Structure 1
Amino acid sequence: MPVTSPYAARLAEIPVERREVQVLGATTAYWVYGEAAEDAPTIVAVHGFRGEHHGLEPIVAYLPGIRIISPDLPGFGETPPIPDREHDLGLFTGWLCEFARAVAPGAIILGHSFGSIVSAAAVAGGLETPRLILINPIGAPALEGPKGVLTRIAVLYYALGARLPERWGTALLRHPLTVRAMSMAMAKTRDRALRRFIHDQHDTYFSRFADREVLHDAFVTSASHDVRAFAGVIDVPTLLIAAQRDDITPIEAERRLAMMFPQAELVEIAEVGHLIHYETPAEAAGAIRRFLRLPAALVR
């Protein structure tokens, strides 16, 4: 039975258009939400690992009046891999820089989870932006998080998926039970309808990676880097939206991360984990509006 999004009504009021652009010699699919008003800011929003643009739509739903450009990362969703390239941090960072300069030069950059690493690395490397927004930022090595044992299991899981015969390895990586286990581990809400929506989102979109090689490259990248390496050289105002129950980066590490930026503001959201974009999008959007000094939206 189809699961209705609790944010569908709000999102339906925001116009959206699918577009394509050539980046690094390949096609990038992206979606433009909202009207391009002269006085409205533009945000380029970068999704997390194994996700695609749909994952950030609940936050988009609470940001009417803001133009949001949301691409699928190379090798995920409707964007194919970059040919003959390892999909490491250098690839994703170079892709984001070229994409942003091509479709929205000078836009605000937003990254969620793995997208926070890519976004921070790009801005530290010279991508011009007036402000940076990081949601569920990866502020410490995943192996040092409160569930480091689970991360080590994930390392073995992705390594096995890459080494098995292709058919078996891909089937393991896309197995519905594995996807559901990941979803259950991340969801913190006790709202049954919202949990069903979250699980349906992961069931629908979490396996839309191009192939196991791209997925393995991206996982290694996500597990090998964190935002701390770039914080000190990011000289634009930065907003960190962190979860107090995040199992990937504990809130204490997020507080330390905020101190590493020359100009950073930390907003903590209680009773949520690594799925701020699904569980508390209104709170995240409110923090973004305050950070951008925009009037509050009507929340219903």
Structure 2
Amino acid sequence: MKTLLKAVLGLLLLAVLLIAGGVALSWAPDRPVDTLKARWAPAPSQFISVQGMQVHLRDEGPKDDPEPIVLLHGTSASLHTWDGWVEALKGQRRVIRIDLPGFGLTGPAPDNDYHLTRYTGFMKDVFDQLGLKKVVLVGNSFGGSVSWMTAQAHPERVARLVLVDSGGYPYKATSVPIGFKLAAIPALRPIIANVLPRRMIESSVRNVYGDPGKVTPELVERYYELTLREGNRGALRERFKQSPGGENAGLIKGVKQPTLILWGSKDGLIPPDNAERFKQDIAGSQLVVFDGLGHVPQEEDPAQTVAAFKAFLNLK
């Protein structure tokens, strides 16, 4: 009996040591934004004051463009997701990309409000701050939700709309990144606040790519470090709680702008049947589906996706 008890206690001690070791290796407390700027906000990055936040953005291309292109990223991403598109566009058009509140280097909203209506008000204030009278608004995933909500709420400010694997309807994901799953579990908040396994970030990014082999160590590093920006992990939990998918779906039919819908055929987070719903509800909209791409097609294959966008704008 004593031998068995010793064996059980030994196994329990080993388990505790393994867990403690895993936590120690994954220990990653928040990082102040100033420690991240040198790497992730070199020129032409700038920060502007909007609604009590220092908003990270990049504004490139000819400043006399009458309808600048504004690019919005998705959940847990950043303005860097549009790097490939910007390289292809900035020679002809003014291109502005933004780290939305709660993400990237912009970080958390001071009032902890992450409802979609707050984001539409934020976008209007950004337009006003930058002197943008009318824009071509492009959004991926959650940024797509912000885009069509802004187009519907402020139609005079949005000339054209592009939705890339956009949120909008209630949907049933066939594959969810592990990071999103864990962020939605309240009991894990004390742990997640200071622990971030790099492998979890890698798994999450690979999950949203149609071809996980395209996920490089450099890409994982970017997602990892920007997740550590002070306040972003707490903001993510609140964003999931305050802006669940599909709560404003009834407003989508109110979108009247010329609209292009782009979708990855292998998107397991927001499946392609959502693209068909957007096409049905937005009169006159166009749909392009990219075979083999996932939830962030603009990042996974910039060349193919930006070509469809340029065709929509009649750009060469």
Report if the CA contact (8 A) 2:53-2:109 is conserved: yes
Greater C-alpha radius of gyration: 2
Contact map agreement 2:152 2:254 (CA 8 A) in 1: yes
Corresponding letter in the other structure for 1:272: L
8 Å contact from structure 1 (residues 45, 69) kept in 2: yes
Matched residues in 2 for 1:268 and 1:97: separation? 30
In the alignment, what sits opposite 1:3? none
* CA displacement, residues 92-123 of structure 1 (integer Å, 9 cap, x when unaligned): 22111211232122111111111000111111
Change (3 A) 1:16 1:284: farther
- Does residue 1:31 correspond to 2:58, yes or no? yes
| Map of 1:12 onto structure 2 | none
Length-normalised TM-score, structure 2:
0.77
d(CA) in 2 for partners of 1:85, 1:198: 28
List gaps (5 residues or longer) in structure 1. 1-14, 296-300
Q: CA deviation at 1:269?
A: 0.8
8 Å CA contact 1:138, 1:226 repeated in 2: no
**Aligned residues of 1:138 and 1:227 also touching (Cα < 8 A):** no
1:52-71 CA-partner distances (Å, limit 9, x unpaired): 11111122122232211111
Q: CA deviation at 1:131?
A: 0.4
Return the alpha-carbon distance in structure 1 between the equivalents of residues 258 and 189 of structure 2: 47
CA distance in 1 between partners of 2:233 and 2:271 (Å) = 29
Deviations 1:205-253 (A, max 9, x none): 3444624331112223554337743320011101111111111222223
- Of 227, 230, 233, the residue aligned with 1:212 is 233
Aligned to 1:20: 47
Separation in 1, partners of 2:109, 2:295: 28
**Which shows bigger deviation, 47-56 or 15-24?**
15-24
- For residues 126 and 40 of structure 1, the distance between their equivalents in structure 2, rounded to whole angstroms, comes to 17
* CA 1:105–1:22: 2 relative to 1, 3 Å: farther
SS at match of 1:273: coil
**Alpha-carbon separation, structure 2, partners of 1:40 and 1:284:** 23
Residue 181, structure 1, aligned to residue 175, structure 2:
no
Q: Which runs of 5+ in 2 are unaligned?
A: 1-41
Matches within 5 A, 1:1-300: 17-36=44-63, 38-39=64-65, 41-63=67-89, 64-103=91-130, 104-127=132-155, 128-142=157-171, 144-147=172-175, 150=176, 157-160=182-185, 162-164=186-188, 166=190, 168-172=191-195, 174-189=196-211, 192=213, 195-208=216-229, 210-221=231-242, 223-225=244-246, 228-295=249-316
CA RMSD of aligned residues (A): 2.6
Structure 1: distance between partners of 2:179 and 2:202 = 14
C-alpha displacement at 1:140, in angstroms?
3.4
TM-score (norm 1): 0.80
The percent of aligned pairs where both chains have the same amino acid is 23
- CA distance in 2 between counterparts of 1:124 and 1:135 reads 17
Deviations 1:171-192 (A, max 9, x none): 34x33122111112122226x4
